[in-house]
Structure 1
C-alpha cells in the first residue's frame, strides 16, 4: 500500500514547500542556545514548538526534563502490527552565534537569500540541526495528509543538549529504554557528498579530549632576575607538544595506532574513484599545504586515520603591553580523533605517559578528560541501509556515496551501547553550510530533497526492502 501512496505523498510535499520553509523559519527564530543559561526558556520553547507539530500529526508526545533542557519523546503506532519500528533522533539546540559582527543578518532572524545554487535559508541552526529535523518532519506531514499517518511505527527522540556534549542523554536513554525500543535509528545530522550526490555515513571517528595543566615552580618569576636559571612552564609545555608528531605526520603518543585497521585495496580504490579535490577543499579555507600523515590519500586521512591536534594553549602574561615573567603554569587543550579499533581510555593513558616522559623532575601536571568515545563502523549489509540506498537512488538518480565521517556523533555510540540500535546516517548538509560559524545556511534544494528522500525511505522500509 505504501508504494502506491508514495506518488501522492511526494506530490503533497512539493505542494507544501512554502509551508515547510515558513515552518522552519518560525522554529529558527527561537534562540535555543543550550550553552548559555539565559536561553534555557528558549530551549524549552523550541522543544514545545516541536511537541505541538508532532501532536498535530497524531503523535503521543512528552517533554522529559533533565537538569538543563528537556528531551522530546514522541510515539506513533503507524499501521501497527509487525511494521518496522524506526527511532528518529535529532536536536533542537544550537551553537552560540558569536561573533555577531560577522553575520550578514541577525542570526535569529532567518532570511532567504540567493546563492550560487539557488535559494538558501540563513540563520543559526539552519542546517544544524533544525533544518535537517524539518526534512523528516515535512515527510511525516505529507504522509499524514495522504495516508492518515506514517507507514512505519515511529518513535522520535529530539534533545536539547547536543551542542554541549549531551551530558544527560544517556540517563534519558536508560530511563526510557522500553519506550525507545526500535529496529533501527535514523539520524539526519550529516552531509551529502556534493549538492547533486547523496551520501550515507557509515563510519565515524571518536574523540579523546584532554586539558593538560602543567606547573613548574611556585610562582611567576622576573625574567631579569631568574632568566637563564629557572625553568619556564610555557617553554617546557610547547617543547613537549612540539614532539606530538614526527616529520611524517605520525603521532608519537605511546600505543596510539594500536588496533587501527588499515583500509583494504578495494576501499582505497573506491575512495580514489570519488575524485575528491583536496586542493579545492583546503583552498576554500585559505590553505594550500595538506597536513596529516604523509603517503596517505586525503579521504583515508579524513575518514580512516586518527589525528591529534592542539586546540588551545595559554599561560603567563597575555594582556596588553609587556610583562617580563617566566611562567610557572602552562595549559593546553588537546583532542584526538579516533577510528574504530582504538580504545579511548588507552589513548588518554598514552597522552599521560607522553607528557610524563618529557618533563623534568620538578615539573608536575594534571589532566582533565572532557571526552572519551570510540570510533564506530556502521553495518553496510543491513536491509535498512539497503532501503536508504534505494530511496536516495530513486530521489537523486544516482547511487549514494558510502562516506566516512571525520567528526563524532556521540549519540550513535550511545544508541548502540544502551539500546542496541544501529543507525542510518542520512543527512543533507553541505561542506560549505558554515556549521557553527557566522552565516550558517541550508540550501532549500537540500531541504526539499531531504524531505522527499525521507518520504521514500519510509515507503521502502514499509515495503520490507
Structure 2
C-alpha cells in the first residue's frame, strides 16, 4: 500500500478529472420516482459499474423488481485486513419546479459564492457527489498502489422511493454482501469546518387508535352529557401520555434508555448550537420536551411520543351539533438505545385500554416499528475514523445523533449483523431535494481525502 501522503497528493492532482467524472454522472437523469426515467436509472448504474471495473473491481449491474443495483468487489494486497461494505445511491429527486433553477439541473456547473466554490446540479449532494468522494479515494489508492482494505460497493437506485427492492436483494445476496463494517456517505458535516460521524439513529413505532362509543352520531342537544363522547375520551388519553415535565408516562417506556457518556455530553454542550435560532426558524421559542434536557439531547438521544393527527366528529365548514360515534388519532414514538418497539406498542395499547370508559371500545392499527441503532462509543472503528477526520479537518468530529432514521443502516444491522460508520460531507444549506441543489467544492475534495484517511486508519 502506498504511503498515505502519496494517496492524498494523487487526490489533489486528480481534482479536475474527478469533477469531470462527477459532471458526467450528474448529467444522467436518474430520477427514480418517474417510470419515464427508468432508462436513465439503468444508464447511471451502468456508468458506475464501468467506472468501478476500470478501477479493478469485479463490478456488475444487478436487476431487481425496480431499478438495478450495482455490486462491486475488490481485494486488497494483504489478506489480513478488514472487509468493508460501502453503500450509496445513484437515484435523485425530480428537478421540478424547473423554472426555479438558474441553469439546467442536469448540467452541473461551478459557481462562486461567499463561502467558496460550489458545484450545482440535481443530485450533487444527495447522493452522487457524496458517493463519488469514496470512489475518488479508491481511485487514488489504485493509481498509487493497492487498496488498504477489502472493499465491496453496493449502489442502489431506489433510495428516493423508500428502497422497496433493497430488503429482498439483501436477503438473496446475504453471503456476498457480508463484511466487517459498513460505510455510508449520505449524512452531513456539523458545519463547514467541522466533520461529523452520525453514531445514533432513533427507532420508530407507529400506532393508530380508533375509539368508538355510540352506534351512530348523536344529536348533542338530546344526548349531550348523557352519552359518552369519544373525542373527550381521546383527549384525556392524549393528555395523560406526558407528565408536567415532558416525560412520557407509559409504564416501562424508558427501559433500555441510557444516559450519554459524559465525554459525548460535554462535546454536545460545547457545540455552537443556538437553540433560540433553531426554534425561532419555525416560529417557536420554548423547548417543549423533557425539562432539564438540551434541545440537541431532545432531538438526537431522547425518546419521544407524539400525536401526528386527530380525527373525529364534524370537520366541515360552519358548525354541526353532533356527538361523534368515534374519534381516532395517529401516534409516533421515536426510540433510542435498547427500547423494544413491540414492548412500547403493547404498553401504549394497555394504557389506552385501561383509560377507556365502560361504554367505549378501541381498535388499534399498527403502522410498523423499528429499533434504534447506535454505534458503540467504544468502537475501535469509530476511534480510528475520528482520528482520521481530525487529521484532515483540524477539528475533532462531532459524534452526532440523528432524530430520524436511515433504513439501509437498519437493514445492515438486522440482515447482515453489521455496524455502520455514517460519514458524510453535506451541509444544511445544500438545498437537497430543492432547486439549485449544491455541494461545496471543499466537501467534494476534502471528502475524498477524508475517505482515504479513514480507509488507511481502519486498515491498520
Q: Same fold (TM over 0.5)?
A: yes
**Aligned residue pair count:** 458
Residues 375-394 of structure 1: pairs in structure 2 closer than 5 A = 375-394=372-391
Partner of 1:355: 352
Specify every segment of 5 or more residues in structure 1 that has no aligned partner in the other structure, as ranges: none
Tell me, in whole angstroms, the C-alpha distance in 2 between the residues paired with 1:237 and 1:439: 45
Contact 1:62 1:73 in 2 (8 A): yes
Partner of 1:135: 133
Deviations 1:105-152 (A, max 9, x none): 6995466555542344455544333332222123233334x2376432
Contact 1:13 1:452 in 2 (8 A): no
Tell me, in whole angstroms, the C-alpha distance in 2 between the residues paired with 1:319 and 1:46: 48
Tell me, in whole angstroms, the C-alpha distance in 1 between the residues paired with 2:216 and 2:122: 43
1:253 aligns to what SS in structure 2? coil
With over 3 angstroms needed to count, the CA separation of the structure-2 counterparts of 1:168 and 1:344, relative to structure 1, is: farther
Residues 240-251 of structure 1: pairs in structure 2 closer than 5 A = 240-251=237-248
Partner of 2:10: 9
Tell me, in whole angstroms, the C-alpha distance in 2 between the residues paired with 1:209 and 1:426: 28
Deviations 1:50-78 (A, max 9, x none): 33332333322234444434332221224
Contact 2:61 2:70 in 1 (8 A): yes
Residues 238-317 of structure 1: pairs in structure 2 closer than 5 A = 238-314=235-311
Partner of 2:332: 335
Tell me, in whole angstroms, the C-alpha distance in 1 between the residues paired with 2:331 and 2:117: 39
Higher alpha-carbon deviation: 318-327 or 421-430: 318-327
Residues 61-460 of structure 1: pairs in structure 2 closer than 5 A = 61-79=59-77, 81-94=79-92, 100=97, 109=106, 112=109, 115-121=113-119, 125-144=123-142, 146-147=143-144, 150-220=147-217, 231-314=228-311, 326-435=323-432, 440-460=437-457
Contact 2:7 2:140 in 1 (8 A): no
Tell me, in whole angstroms, the C-alpha distance in 2 between the residues paired with 1:231 and 1:300: 40
Partner of 2:23: 22
Deviations 1:180-227 (A, max 9, x none): 122211111222121100111222221112233444444555667766
With over 3 angstroms needed to count, the CA separation of the structure-2 counterparts of 1:200 and 1:114, relative to structure 1, is: same
Tell me, in whole angstroms, the C-alpha distance in 2 between the residues paired with 1:354 and 1:105: 54
1:200 aligns to what SS in structure 2? strand
Cα deviation, residue 342, structure 1: 1.0
Cα deviation, residue 419, structure 1: 2.3
Deviations 1:364-392 (A, max 9, x none): 33333333222222133444323322321
Cα deviation, residue 31, structure 1: 1.3
1:458 aligns to what SS in structure 2? helix
Contact 1:31 1:108 in 2 (8 A): no
Q: How high is the TM-score relative to the length of structure 2?
A: 0.85
1:129 aligns to what SS in structure 2? helix
Tell me, in whole angstroms, the C-alpha distance in 1 between the residues paired with 2:321 and 2:37: 41
Contact 2:7 2:452 in 1 (8 A): yes
Higher alpha-carbon deviation: 13-22 or 81-90: 13-22
Tell me, in whole angstroms, the C-alpha distance in 2 between the residues paired with 1:285 and 1:66: 41
Contact 1:12 1:142 in 2 (8 A): no
Specify every segment of 5 or more residues in structure 2 that has no aligned partner in the other structure, as ranges: none
2:177 aligns to what SS in structure 1? coil
Q: Kindly report the root-mean-square deviation, in angstroms, between the aligned alpha carbons of the 2 structures.
A: 3.4
